[in-house]
Amino acid sequence: MRKTAAILIASITVLFVPAFAQADGGELYARRCASCHGKEGDGDTAIGKRKGLKALGSAEVQAKTDSELAAKIAEGGENGDRQHAYKDKGLSDADVNDLVTFIRSLARRR
């Protein structure tokens, strides 16, 4: 009985926790990122076009590690890249990880 319960709990966690993270990341993305990166992450906004933003679902962006994406969100851009740093703007590490999960989901939408 315990083994069955453990398997059931593990299955629920595997199936539903990423969905919650994506929902949270999607909400954060809509509030904090979409004005520049666009609703679907394609960079097709006035600001995105002016800054020359890459589509977040592109192979180039998706090739970055989760750590690299998280650092970019938290620390901001460098070398003329004007990505805002969100670590001091109320985003927790969990929020940043939720955004990374959401950005990963954009590749699956292409």
Q: What is the pLDDT of residues 52-62, one digit of tens each?
A: 999 999 999 99
How far apart are the two ends of the chain, measured CA to CA in Å? 43
Domains of the chain with bracketed CATH:
21-108 (1.10.760.10)
Lowest mean pLDDT among 9-13, 33-37, 88-92, 97-101: 9-13
Residue 11 tokens, joined: 């299955």
Average pLDDT estimate for 23-37: 91
Is the pLDDT at 16 greater than 50? The verdict is no
Where are any strands of DSSP class E within the chain? none
Q: pLDDT value at position 90?
A: 85
Q: Confirm whether pTM is higher than 0.85.
A: no
Instruction: Return d(Cα 54, Cα 44) in angstroms, integer.
Output: 9
CB 106 within 8 Å of CB 41:
yes
